[in-house]
Homo-oligomer: A and B are copies of this chain.
């Protein structure tokens, strides 16, 4: 009855099949672009609205900056242009004419936002300036894959300016913990390892880069969120300075941070199984589907009553009355789509005053009384969310190996992640790992906390294959 290639057999193929059969997304006509379909977008909207609330709670305000950036802006920060040049899409014609200066479609907006920050910031009273935008960005990809590496993707990019280095560092830490780690852990049910990037893996122009890394079911790492301290690099390149309380003119300290539609890929690869997608209830576009087994008045009445009770409790619920499709096919369809809970309403159960609840994650079925059904579904949704996170933690921890030599780490990272003292790896070790397709995902303190600086002592490197 399995309609998907098993994960063990061919994980990348399983991923493509889930995208298609769960009607999440598909390729656009231009290589590397994607179409996010209604069902996929319903999940993205849930993720996005929750992250947006967290960003606002952290004090950043929503803005919108133009997508088209003069090419010259990219040359102001040398490291930035070096890194991004091969990825840029460039507009050379517009309005029927060749443009005098080519325009770059934003791969990220540090440069254009820096230019406007310069005008808005005069004195210490204007700081901190904390901005966020939800936008599309374009980075030309050689090996595109839907949600994971797209030529055009959707994201939020936060950009802030602070009076001191300490303020900038504190804010980056706040974003990492309260926006990134919390939303990934508690909403997407993806446990993440957060740490600082090595110099080699740092973002273009950044002094410090941080990331949250999730482990996919095939043992590979996926970077799910990043944040960067730019020091005064962009402030100097774009002349963003302010009059401080001591009467002196100083450069600001800037940061940026982002989360993208790549999270959709993470959600699929962390929770999905051989029967399809499994969506954590908190971010499910549809949390519960009430399936009418047959087209009978009694069935309709009870199904509608349970649906209404769930709606009253703010549950995102739908009725499935597609009687022109067999019950079996409908169930498989809802399984592939990863709907967290199905409630089956059929005549046989009804005769005993019961309906049947099916959990997508465990595929367990149990009978509920009609009266208690809505309340039981509510508590089961909470339980599913908890179980998904706990199981993801268990799977991840099983595949993380503490290593004492680079050879051992290399071996462990073939099927999982290796933890090893950074001192045993170093820049040389990092280069040699790269030859085997392995990267240092991030550096952590011994206790798993996030270091403030990649030069700190006694750091531990997390090594893995990565998407």
* Contacts from A to B (Cβ < 8 Å): 26, 28-30, 33-38, 41-42, 44-45, 61-70, 73, 85-96, 102-103, 105, 112, 115-116, 125, 131, 135-136, 138, 140, 142, 151-152, 154, 324
Q: Most B CB atoms within 10 A — which of A67, A87, A102, A116?
A: A67
**Is B38 a contact of A131 with CB atoms below 8 Å?**
yes
**How many of these chains are in the complex?**
2
| A-B interface, 7 closest residue pairs, ranked by CB to CB distance from nearest | A95-B140, A33-B66, A38-B61, A28-B66, A89-B94, A36-B64, A90-B93
Q: Is the CB of B96 within 8 A of A89?
A: no
Contact of A65 with B103 at beta-carbon distance under 8 Å, contacts A86-B95, A90-B92, A92-B93 already known: no
Partner of A103, one of B30, B44, B69: B30
Complex Cα gap A26–B135 (Å): 18
Q: Which residues of B contact A324 (CB under 8 A)?
A: 125
Smallest beta-carbon distance A98→chain B, Å: 9
Do A37 and B63 touch across chains, with their CB atoms under 8 A apart?
yes
Q: Closest B-chain residue to A39, C-beta based?
A: B61
> Please, how many angstroms separate the alpha-carbon atoms of A37 and B66 in the complex?
12
CA distance A73 to B91 in the complex (A): 18
Cβ–Cβ < 8 Å partners of A36 in chain B: 63-64
Q: Quote the shortest CB–CB distance from A50 to chain B (angstroms).
A: 14
User: How distant is A47 from chain B, measured CB to nearest CB, in Å?
Assistant: 13
A41 to B65 CA separation, bound complex (whole angstroms): 11
Could you jot down 30 A-B contacts, CB within 8 Å?
A: A26-B116, A28-B66, A29-B115, A30-B66, A30-B68, A30-B103, A33-B66, A33-B68, A35-B63, A35-B64, A37-B63, A38-B61, A38-B131, A41-B64, A44-B64, A66-B152, A68-B151, A86-B95, A86-B96, A88-B93, A88-B95, A89-B93, A89-B94, A89-B103, A90-B91, A91-B91, A91-B105, A92-B93, A94-B140, A135-B136
> Of B33, B67, B138, B152, which contacts A152 at CB under 8 A?
B67
Contact call B68/A41, Cβ cutoff below 8 A: no
